[in-house]
Structure 1
Amino acid sequence: MLSEFLRSFHSDDLRRILLHPEPSLHFPLVIDYAELLDFDPELANILYNDPKGFLPDFDDAAQRAQSEVLKILNKSELLDNPDESKPAAVQKEFVHVRVNTSGSPLLFPESSPSIGKVRVKHRGILLTLKGTVIRSGGVKMIEGERQYQCRKCNHRFLCHPELEAGNRITLPASCPSTSSKGCQSASFQLIEDSITCHDYQEIKIQESVQLLDVGSIPRSVPVILMDDLVDIVKAGDDVIVTGILSAKWSSDVKDVRCNLDPVFIANYVRRTNELKSGIDIPDEIIKKFDIFWAEHRATPLEGRNKILKGICPQIYGLFTVKLAVALTLIGGVQHVDASGTKVRGEPHMLLVGDPGTGKSQFLKFAAKLSNRSVITTGLGSTSAGLTVTAVKDGGEWMLEAGALVLADGGLCCIDEFDSMREHDRTTIHEAMEQQTISVAKAGLVTTLSTRTTVFGATNPKGQYDSDESLSVNTTLSGPLLSRFDIVLVLLDRENRELDKIISSHILAQSIKAEEQKTSDFGVKSTDPSGIKEWTLPFLRRYIHYIKQRFKPVLTKEAERAISGYYQLQRRSGTQNAARTTVRMLESLIRLAQAHARLMFRNEVTRLDAIAAILCIESSMTTSAIIDSAGNAMNSNFRENPDQEYMEQENIICQKLNDNSLF
C-alpha cells in the first residue's frame, strides 16, 4: 500500500531520482501528510503514533516503488529510444521518505506545541516544531550500522548504534540466530568493510520571541540532522522541523547527576524565511486598500496622514516621527551598482531625545509592526550578543547567532543606544552598511547575512546643546551617525499650549478605551472603503503588501530635486560633517522610494522626493531650508496637509532654483 501511494502521488519524483547520474547520493522523497491522510487514514494514523518503526518501512516501500517505476521506464526507453542516447535509469540505494506536515492537522497547536511546552507525552510521536536556528554545528560523519558474525554458527546480523546513548553499539547477549538448534553463543566477530557512515549535524532551534508571553524565557532544543538534511539551514534561519522527540544521556561530569536531555531527530526541515509567516492578506483586504486610495486620489497626503495616525495612537502629534517610523519599516529597493556591489534598501533610524518623549514606545510599536523583530538594550548587549559569538559545546567550537543575525530580514530595535561600550558600537558598522558580519573566532572564519533595519534610541549627553553637533550631544562617532538615514531629535521644552493638548489627549485615550469595551462591535464604518481605523493588524498587512507589490523607480523630477538638495547641503556653511556624506544621497533615494510605496505608487515623484527632503531636514541640527526644523516634538498633523505641502514645495524649489541646482 505504501508503494502504491508513492507511485500514485510521486511518480515524477521517483523518475527524477532514477535518472540522476550519481548513484551513491542520499535522495529525499518529500510526501505530504495531508495526501497520505486522504489516501489511507489508517496508515496516516500509524505514521503519527509510531514514526520510528514505520518510517523504515516507508523507505523500503520507496525501494519497491523505484523498481516498479524502473521497469516502466526501461520498457518505454526500448520502444522510444532504441539507440540509448538518454541517460540510463538506475535504482538508487539511499532514498529517504520525508514527511511534510504543512496544511495538515499536525500543525494545529494541540498536536504541535511550542518548544517550551514539549513534554514526555510528546515522545515517540510524529511532531512538528517551529523556531529559529540559533546555533549550527559542523558536519560530521557518524556510524550507521555494523555487521557481525557469530564465531560458532557463522550467522551474520546487523547492529545499529543508538543516538540516545551517545551513538554506542550494544551487542546482543546471545546469538540472534533463528535456527532450530538455537545457538546460544556470545562470541562475535566484526565483518571487515561492513561499517556504513552517514553525514551528521547538530543544530539548536529556539522558539520565536514574538510568540512568547511577557517575562517568558525562550526555550531551545537540539536537533539532529542526517544525510540529505545536513547543511541546508544556517544560524538565523526560521525553520519548521518535523521529526521524533527522543532523549539523550547528558555527558558524564564528576559529582553531577547524569540526566536525560531532550533531543529532536529530524525527518524533514523546511526554511520559512521567504514565506514571511504570520502575514495573511485576503483579497478583500487588498480591495479595501485599492478603494481607500481611489477615494484619496485628489488629496493623497490626507490619506497618508490617516495611515500615519494609526502608528502609536497613544502618543499625541509627533507627525515627523510617525512618518519616519513608517518610512523606516517600509524601506527602499535594494539594487546592484555597476561594480556588482549591492546597495542596501533598508534604512536605519535613530531617535535622540529627553526622557519621557516616547522613544521606547515607538521602538516597541515598530517591533510589533515588523513580522520579524528583535528588541534589546544597549546596556545589556555586548558585541558578541549583537553580532555572533563562538561557543564551545562538547569539545567543538560553533557559532551562535546574536540579535542582528536573528533579525535578518526584519527589524532590530536597540534601546539605550548610548549605554553601549565604544567597542561594542563599532562592531555594528559593517552590519549596518554592508549588511554582513565577518567572523574570525576560534578558527571559524565565515560571513553571515544581516539584511536588518536598525532602529535605535538614545538620550543626549546631559542637556542638549543646539549649538553643538550631534556627535558631541550623543557621544556617537561620526562614522556611526552617517550610517543612520534619519536622526530625529526630541527635546522636551516647556510649552503651555502643547502640555494642555497632550494631557487632554491622554485622558481621552483612557475614556475611549472604556467606551470600546462597552460599545457595539458591529458598528459599520462611514468610510466607503470599510477602513474605520488603521489598527495594528491592518497596518502590518498594509506594510507587508506594499513591500511585496511595489518596486518604485525614480522620475527625472525626483532625481533633480534630490541631487539639488544634496549639493545645497554640501555647500552649506552650517553643514554637519558626520551627516552630509554620500550616504545622505543614498538615504534620500531610499526614503523617497519608501514614501512612494506608502503612497501606493510604483514611481517616485517630486512629492516623494520633497517628503524625503523634509525628513532629512528634521534630522539636521541647523536647517538649510526650513527654519522650524531641528526639534521633531513640534511637528503635528495639519488640517489641510495637501495645501501645506504646496507651500513647502514652493519654498524648497525656490531655494534650490536660487542656488542654480534645480
Structure 2
Amino acid sequence: MEYAGKSDQPDRWETILAGFIKQNYYDQLRSVALSPDSKLHYPLYVDFAELMEEDPQLAHLIFSEPTEYLRIFDRAAVWAHNVVAGELIGNKNKIKQKTIHVRINIFGSPLECPETFPTIGRVRVKHRGILLTIKGTVIRSGAVKMYEGERWYQCQKCQNEFPVYPELEARNSILLPSFCPVKSGKPCGGTKFQYLDNSMVSHDYQEIKIQESTQVLGVGAIPRSIHVILMDDLVDIVKAGDDVIVTGVLTARWSPELKDVRCDLDPVLIANHVKRTNELKSEIDFPDNVVMKFKQFWSDFKDAPLKGRNAILRGICPQVFGLFTVKLAVALTLLGGVQHVDASGTKVRGESHLLLVGDPGTGKSQFLKFAAKLSNRSVITTGLGSTSAGLTVTAVKDGGEWMLEAGALVLADGGLCCIDEFDSMREHDRATIHEAMEQQTISVAKAGLVTTLSTKTIVFGATNPKGHYDPDQPLSVNTTLSGPLLSRFDIVLVLLDTKNPEWDAVVSSHILAEAASDTIRHNEDLTNSWPLPMLQRYIHFVKQNFRPVLTKEAEIVISTYYQLQRKSATYNAARTTVRMLESLIRLAQAHARLMFRNEVTRLDAITAILCIEASMTTSAIVDSIGNALHSNFTENPDQEYAKQEELILKKLGSVDEFSDF
C-alpha cells in the first residue's frame, strides 16, 4: 500500500465516490486544479441529499461509519481531482498533488431530523460515532496549533506499509497496532514495525466551544456547551459570538488526569462542515404572499398612514395598556437607522439605544422581554447579576493557555442586549459598555491577549430612579447614571407613577378584561392590532430591504431643531450633544422604515423630534411634555399630528419657510 493520495488503483468505494464527485462537482474540482498553491487544504462541498439519491447504501455507510468512509471520500476526491487536472493540463507529470477534504452538507436531506439534529444538552452516548449536526453560539475560540494527522509504518516481516492515526480519546497520542493490519492475502502476524522517514502528515488544529442559544432554552435551564475540533481549512473561519451549525463526528476523550479524581470522558465533536448563520438571519427570504400582505396593508391606509402605523404599534406588548410613546420608542429602537461612513472613514452606528427610567410597576421589564422576542438575536441579563467581564469578555485558562470567552454584548452582536435593573450595576461595570454602545467594539487587554471584538448590538436598558423622581433635578442626578452614558442613549423615557384616578380606572378595566379572555391572538386581521409572528416578519423585512435617505426638507427640520435645542437656556448638557443630532437622524430613518418607505420625509423628522422631546426633562419646544406613562393611542392620529406639526414648525421658525417643500 502506498501513501494516501498516491494510489493509482482505488478500491471499489473510492471508484464509486470519485465518479460521483466528477459527475456532480466538476466545477469545484476544476477550480481546485487551477489553484496554484499545492500546499493548501481545499474543501469540496458535497450535498448529502444528492449522495442519498445517487447511492443510498453508500450514503448510509457515510452516516453510520463516518470516521472510515470520510477518509475514503477524501481519497476519492483527490483521485477525481487528478483525473480532472490531467484533462486540463494534459501532462500527468505536471499535476500538483493537492490535499482535498470533502465537507458534507446535511441541510435539506432526510437526515435533518431531531435524532441527528439534537440540542447540545441532549447529546448522549447513542450519538457517538455517527454523523451529527449541532446548532449553537461560539463562546470561546482557541489558538491555532499544529497537529500530527498520521504516520506511516512498515511491517518488517511482510514489508506492508500502513498509516497510523492519532487517537483523540488518548489526547492525540499515536498507538501502534498489536499485529500487522495487512488487508490483502493471508495475515502475516508481524509485530515489529519501522517508522518511515518524512511520512508524518501535519494539520492545522483549533478548538472552539459552542453553547446552546439562550433563546431556545426554558426558564431555569442552564445552557450546555461542547468542545468542537476544527482542522485544516475549517480553522479560523468562526469567532466568539458567531452562530454556527456544525456537522461532525461525536467522539470522547479522556479528561486531564488529576490526583484522587476519577478520570471521565469528555464529549468532543470533530467538525466536518461548519456553517455560520449570522448573515443568514439577516437575509431571510420572505414569501411573496407575506410581502403582498404588507403592501396591501399600506395601500389600505394610504389616506391615513399614521392610523396604519398605530395598528402596528398596538401589537407591541399588547398586555400593557396605552403607553403609546414607549411602544413607538421600542419600535424605532428595534428598526434603527442606516450605518454610514463619514468623510474621515469612521463608521457612524445605525443601531439606536433605549433607556426606560420609571417607578416600579410601570411595565419596563415587560417591554424588555417583548423586545427580546421581536429581535432575531437577543440576550437578556440584569444589572445585579452582571459584571463587566460577564457583559464584555472573560479571560479563562484552558489547558495551560489563556482564551477569551464571550460575554452578553458579544453574544448579542447583530441583535439586542436587554439589561434590566441598570441602576444595580456598579459604576465600574457600567463604564465598560461605553465603547460597546458608541464604537460598537470592545477592546480587550487581558492576560496577554490584546484584541478587539465586534458588538454591533442594540442596548435596551431599564432602571428605577434614585428615590423619588425630582423633575427639577437633571436626569443624571435622578438616575445616578453619568452624563457620558446618558448621551449614548438615543431615547430616555421617564415613566412616573402619578396618582391619576381616571387613568387607574381605565388601566384596571383593561387588565381585568385581559385576565378574563386569557387567549393568545394569532388572527390575520391586521387592521387593529398585529400578532407577534407578523410583527417579527415585518421588522426583519423592513430592516433588510429599506435604507431610507434624508430629503432636504427633513434635513432642515432636524438641523433647525438641533440648533434651537443647543441655544435653549435650560438645555440638558448631558443629553444635548452632537450625538443627539445623530440620534435624530437614526430615529427619522427608523420611522421611515416603520412607514414602509425609502425616503425620510418631514413627517419622519417631526416624529423623531417628538420622541426626543418626550425623552427630555426640559423641553425647548413643547411647553408641557406630559408623562410618557399616560400617553395613549388617539382616535384620529393624523389630525392630532397635523396640530403637533403646526406647533413645532412655529417654534422652529416661520411656517412659510417649510411650506415651500
Matched, 1:571 2:586: no
CA distance in 1, matches of 2:610, 2:195: 79
* Rounded Cα–Cα distance in structure 1 between residues aligned with 2:407 and 2:572: 33
Q: 1:157-172 alignment to 2 at 5 Å? A: 157-172=162-177
Could you tell me how far 1:69 is from its partner in structure 2? 1.5
- Trace 1:27-66 onto structure 2 (pairs within 5 A): 27-66=42-81
Correspondences of 1:212-611 after superposition (within 5 Å): 212-276=217-281, 281-513=286-518, 525=525, 533-611=529-607
CA displacement 1:151-173 (0-9 Å, x = unmatched) = 66665443211112100111223
Shift of 1:29: 0.3
CA contact (8 A) 1:70 1:89 kept: no
1:123 to 108, 121, 128: 128
2:214/2:223 contact within 8 Å kept: yes
Amino acid at match of 1:43: L
Partner of 2:12: none
**Which residue of the other structure, out of 630, 644, 649, is the alignment partner of 2:645?**
649
Aligned to 2:208: 203
Q: Secondary structure at the match of 2:357?
A: strand
Q: Which amino acid aligns with 1:6?
A: I
**Distance between the aligned counterparts of 2:533 and 2:318, measured in 1?**
14
SS at match of 1:232: coil
Determine if the alignment matches structure 1 residue 632 to structure 2 residue 647. no
Q: How far is the alpha carbon of 1:194 from its aligned partner?
A: 2.5
Does the alignment pair 1:104 with 2:122?
Answer: no
* Alpha-carbon shift at residue 53 of structure 1 (Å): 1.5
Please say if residues 330 and 594 of structure 1, whose CA atoms lie closer than 8 Å, have aligned partners that are also in contact. yes
- Is 1:18 matched with 2:23? no
In the TM superposition, what whole-angstrom CA distance separates every residue of 1:548-600 from its partner, at most 9, and x where no partner exists? 11100000110011001100110001111000000000000000000000000
Distance, in Å, in 1 between the alignment partners of 2:101 and 2:201 is 16
Whether contact under 8 Å (1:140, 1:201) holds in the other structure is: yes
Q: How far does the alpha carbon of each residue in 1:5-52 deviate from its partner, in whole angstroms, 9 at most, with x for none? A: 111110000000001000111000001111112222222222111111
Change (3 A) 1:180 1:553: closer
Distance across 1 between alignment mates of 2:382 and 2:275: 32
Task: Say if 1:241 and 1:267, in contact at 8 Å, map to a contact too.
Answer: yes
CA gap 1:280/1:66 in 2 versus in 1, 3 angstroms? closer
Output the CA distance in 1 between the equivalents of 2:560 and 2:656.
8
Q: Assess if the C-alpha contact under 8 Å between 2:524 and 2:531 holds in 1.
A: no
Deviates more, 1:247-256 or 1:361-370: 247-256
For residue 207 of structure 2, what is the amino acid of its counterpart? E
Question: Under a length normalisation based on structure 1, what TM-score does the superposition of the two structures give?
Answer: 0.93
Give CA-to-partner distance per residue, 1:415-449, whole Å, 9 cap, x none: 00011111110010110000001111111111111
* Gap runs ≥5 in structure 1: 79-87
How big is the shift at 1:631? 2.5
Give how far 1:195 is off.
Answer: 2.0
- 1:85 maps to none
Contact 1:123/1:245, CA 8 A, preserved across alignment? yes
**Cα gap change, 1:193 to 1:633, in 2 (>3 Å):** same
Q: What TM-score do the two structures reach when normalised by structure 2?
A: 0.94
1:81 — aligned with what? none
CA distance in 2 between counterparts of 1:457 and 1:278 reads 30
Query: 2:235, 2:331 → 1: CA distance?
Result: 39
Aligned match for 2:143, one of 138, 143, 150: 138
Query: Is residue 2:617 matched to residue 1:612?
Result: no
Alpha-carbon offset, residue 188 of structure 1: 4.0
Mapped contact 1:564–1:656 kept (Cα < 8 A) = yes
Cα distance, 1:409–1:645 mapped onto 2, change above 3 Å? same
Q: Which moved more, 1:164-173 or 1:412-421?
A: 164-173
The count of aligned residue pairs is: 643
What is the alpha-carbon root mean square deviation over aligned residues? 2.2
Identity of aligned residues (%): 70
